Chain A
Amino acid sequence: MNNRKTTNPIYLLSVMGILVSMALILSIVESILCPQGLLPVPGFKLGMANIAIVVSIYLLGPKPTVGIVLVRALLLWALGGNTIGLMFSLAGGLLALLSMSLLQRLPFISLWGVSIAGAAAHMTGQIVVAIFLTGNTYVVSYLSILLLTSILTGGVIAFLSAPVINALLHVPFVNKIQHDIMKNDHP
């Protein structure tokens, strides 16, 4: 099909590894910077790990990003041992990934819309898990506050991701991988 020589998969794997470690480090940095319970809105998080997810959606496309989301959630669970946290981050992460990869295909939506939709979907996924855990629909009312904050956090994530995408595209082999993936996605 593709007459051009595709990039060695090792390169893709290494970029995925870089993004997973970036997501992990950002989660840990965030938990140090703003510990839960000190904030005015409980459950409010910047979700800085989403920077890595957003970058991955744009550079590598949806498929490798599924791997990054899963590995990040599992590693965070292995490091922290928080099973409820694993359920929250899996539900939120996968729902965010789904909405982001769908919106990313639309030409009239940029990084900003994708990031905000991802943040909103992340909150929704977590609330669904909360309903499942407590067996109570009370938590739904809380979703409205979380959705409002997600516009803000999604915007911040987009603002922070743009320079990262920019910088990574200047790395020759990342640029090459991105080029190959784009070519396969839009032949």
Chain B
Amino acid sequence: MSELSTKQHKRDSNKLFSRLRFRWGDAVVILCVLVAAVCLGGMYIYKAHQTEDSLRVLITQDGAVLMNRSLSSFETPENLTITTEHGTLTVYLSSSEVYISSSDCDDQICVHQGSLSQAGDGAVCLPNRVVVEIISDDEATEKSVDMVAR
């Protein structure tokens, strides 16, 4: 009796073993993820290569706009220090590039993000809830409408 049930277990487990081997459905899943990734990446590249005649830098903290200025208005490089309830970070701003030069957060992901120079580029500091991004002019008007609506 007990021997019989062990055999039965073995047979059922074999059904599970066969589910560990690669099937054609897996290729479909991989393809779906790839397509989603390529679509999102394509959207991002399309955004970045939009007209770059007038770029603006937008800095927000917790969704509130701290700075929305045209990049070309920085004739001499400036350093902006942002102090939040979570910490302090410094943003380097010049007419050609913007980057977060230092931050006292643990992970330093925003600092490693490096130089931002094209529309769509951005650096996010989650611990400080600060977002620095480069936007094109028409996007800036859209954004301000959103801010008002909120």
Are B40 and A110 neighbours in the complex by a CB distance under 8 Å?
Answer: no
Asked if A52 is an interface residue, CB under 8 A from chain B, the answer is no
Assess the A113–B20 pair: CB atoms within 8 A: no
Q: Mark B95-135, 1 if CB is under 8 A from A, else 0.
A: 00000000000011100110000001010101001010100
| Residues on A with beta carbons closer than 8 Å to the beta carbon of B34 | 147-148, 151
Nearest to B109 among chain A residues (CB) is A42
Interface size on A, residues (CB 8 A): 43
- Interface pair A144/B126, CB less than 8 Å apart: no
Cross-chain pairs A/B with CB under 8 angstroms, 23 sampled: A37-B109, A42-B113, A103-B29, A113-B23, A117-B33, A130-B126, A133-B126, A134-B129, A136-B63, A138-B122, A141-B122, A143-B40, A147-B40, A151-B33, A162-B20, A165-B16, A175-B9, A178-B13, A179-B8, A179-B12, A179-B13, A182-B12, A182-B16
Which of A106, A108, A141, A145: most chain B CB closer than 10 A? Answer: A141
Least Cβ distance of A122 to chain B in Å?
Answer: 12
Question: What residues of chain B have their CB less than 8 Å away from a CB belonging to chain A?
Answer: 8-9, 12-13, 15-17, 19-26, 28-30, 33-34, 36-41, 43-44, 47, 60, 62-63, 107-109, 112-113, 120, 122, 124, 126, 129, 131, 133
Contacts of B28 in A (CB 8 A): 109, 113
**Do A134 and B41 have beta carbons less than 8 Å apart?**
no
Separation in Å of the B20 CB from the closest CB of chain A? 5
**A84–B33 alpha-carbon span in the complex (Å):** 26
Shortest CB distance B7–A (Å): 11
Interface hub of B26, B30, B40, B120 (most chain A Cβ within 10 A): B26
Q: Give A117-167 interface residues, CB cut-off 8 Å to B.
A: 117, 120, 130, 133-136, 138-141, 143-145, 147-148, 150-151, 162, 165-166
**A90 close to chain B: CB less than 8 A:** no
A109 touches B13 (CB 8 A): no
Residues of A within 8 A of B (CB): 36-37, 42-43, 58, 84, 103, 106, 108-113, 116-117, 120, 130, 133-136, 138-141, 143-145, 147-148, 150-151, 162, 165-166, 169, 175-176, 178-179, 182-183
Which residues of chain B are within 8 angstroms of A182 by Cβ–Cβ distance? Answer: 12, 15-16
> B63, A134: Cβ atoms under 8 Å?
yes
List the B side residues contacting A143 at CB < 8 Å: 37, 40
